Amino acid sequence: DTEVTQTPKHLVMGMTNKKSLKCEQHMGHRAMYWYKQKAKKPPELMFVYSYEKLSINESVPSRFSPECPNSSLLNLHLHALQPEDSALYLCASSQDDLGGTEAFFGQGTRLTVV
Amino acid sequence: QQQVKQSPQSLIVQKGGISIINCAYENTAFDYFPWYQQFPGKGPALLIAIRPDVSEKKEGRFTISFNKSAKQFSLHIMDSQPGDSATYFCAATGGTNAGKSTFGDGTTLTVKP
């Protein structure tokens, strides 16, 4: 199983809503990532979890709150988002965060903030 | 400061032709160079990757050429097919925060039948 599964695939939320994105992998990977991707742009790293601990936060606004409940799951909690936060949110995993190995990406959640 | 520069931004190739995408990097601590293929509405998928101790790697119609001294690497797609039409991202990892992938800006490839 080389899949990273993300739910939901699409999400429309108002600026006052609270929602969560979910990501799951069963490859035994110990590093998991959240990326944000705007149209025609490369993925932009938001957070890195290594062995279930947050290791990198790329100065992401606090309206995005990551959580890693266990080694297979990664959540991204959303609150009070802005329309400019509309994007494709990608989860990825890799064997570890030491580099030198490929990252497996999920299909993404297409988020629209209205 | 952009650490991985990718060109061209877009590329149109006839079916059966060769598609070439180039990337250049600055950080000599990078030690893994993957290429990702992304179709609209989908996540990036690893296509092929290379380490700097190898000058070339081939997998089917896809070849990476790597020039360590010039800090450049390129993707060659032989016998390009319409199904290859996608956005291609080069990336690099290594050094400080080694798990973090630094991406090029992407190349939109269109293969005309």
pLDDT tens digits for range B103-113: 999 999 999 99
Question: Counting every residue, how long is chain B?
Answer: 113
Count helices and strands in chain B by DSSP H and E runs: 0, 11
What is the 8-class DSSP label of residue B41?
Answer: T
Predicted local distance difference test score (pLDDT) of residue B111 = 98
pLDDT at B1 over 60: no
Spatial distance between the Cα atoms of A83 and A62, rounded to a whole number of angstroms: 16
CB contact under 8 A, B36 and A45: no
DSSP-derived 3-state class of residue A76:
strand
What is the 8-class DSSP label of residue B79?
Answer: S
* B 5-44 → A contacts, CB under 8 A: 31-32, 34, 36, 41-44
Predicted local distance difference test score (pLDDT) of residue B97 = 62
* A 87-106 → B contacts, CB under 8 A: 90, 92, 94, 96-106
Q: Tell me what percent of the residues of chain B surpass a pLDDT of 70.
A: 94
pLDDT band of residue A102 (cuts 50, 70, 90) is confident
DSSP-derived 3-state class of residue A85:
helix
A52 φ, ψ to 5°? 70, 10
Number of Cβ within a 10 Å radius of residue B76:
16
Q: What residues does A108 pair with on adjacent strands? A: none
* B 91-110 → A contacts, CB under 8 A: 93-95, 97-101, 103-106, 108
Of the two residues B28 and B12, the one the predictor is more confident about is B12
pLDDT band of residue B29 (cuts 50, 70, 90) is confident
Q: E strand or H helix at A98, and its extent?
A: none
Is residue A69 classed exposed, middle or buried when 0-12, 13-18 and 19+ CB atoms within 10 A define those classes?
exposed
pLDDT average, residue stretch A98-114? 89
Question: Counting every residue, how long is chain A?
Answer: 114
* Contacts A90 to B, Cβ<8 Å: 43-44
* Contacts B99 to A, Cβ<8 Å: 31, 33, 48, 50, 55-56, 94, 96-99
What tens digit of pLDDT does each residue of A44-79 get?
A: 999 999 999 998 888 899 999 999 999 999 999 999
Closest CA to A81 of A113, A110, A35, A36: A113
Predicted local distance difference test score (pLDDT) of residue A92 = 94
How far does the CA of residue B16 sit from the closest CA of chain A (Å)? Answer: 26
Predicted local distance difference test score (pLDDT) of residue A96 = 79
pLDDT band of residue A98 (cuts 50, 70, 90) is confident
